[in-house]
A and B are shown apart, each in its own frame.
Chain A
Amino acid sequence: MDYVIMVVITFGALFVLLAAIGIVRMPDLYLRISVTTKAATLGVGMILIAAAVYFGEASMTTRALAIVFFLLLTAPVAAHLIGKASYFVGIPLWRKTVLDDLKDSEDTHSLLGIDEEDEDADKKDDSQKPESEV
Chain B
Amino acid sequence: MTLHEYLQFVILPIMALSAILIFVRFLMGPSLSDRVVALDLLITTAIGTISVFAVIFNEKDYLDVAIILALIAFLTTVAFAYYIEKQKKR
Contacts and interface: CB of A to CB of B under 8 A. Distances in A.
Most chain B beta carbons < 10 A, residue from A66, A81, A91: A81
Given A51-B55, A67-B70, A89-B84, A29 B33 contact: yes
A71 B44 contact: yes
Interface string A60-87: 1001101100110011011001101110
B48 A91 contact: no
A13 B74 contact: no
Decide if the interface of chain A is mainly helix, strand, loop or mixed. Answer: helix
A64 to B, nearest CB: 7
Contacts, number: 163
Most chain A beta carbons < 10 A, residue from B17, B41, B85, B89: B41
A40 B67 contact: no
Nearest to B20: A20
Interface string A10-40: 1011101101110110000100110010001
Interface in A65-119: 66-67, 70-71, 74-75, 77-78, 81-82, 84-86, 88-89, 91, 112-114, 118
B38 A23 contact: yes
Contacts of B67: 63, 66-67, 70
A61 B86 CA distance: 40
B11 A10 contact: yes
Decide if the interface of chain B is mainly helix, strand, loop or mixed. Answer: helix
A101 B7 CA distance: 45
Interface of A: 2, 5-6, 9-10, 12-14, 16-17, 19-21, 23-24, 29, 32-33, 36, 40-41, 43-44, 47-48, 50-51, 54-55, 57, 59-60, 63-64, 66-67, 70-71, 74-75, 77-78, 81-82, 84-86, 88-89, 91, 112-114, 118, 127
Interface of B: 2-3, 6-7, 10-11, 14-15, 17-19, 21-22, 24-25, 31, 33-34, 36-38, 40-41, 44-45, 47-48, 51-52, 54-55, 60, 63-64, 66-67, 70-71, 73-74, 77-78, 80-82, 84-85, 87-89
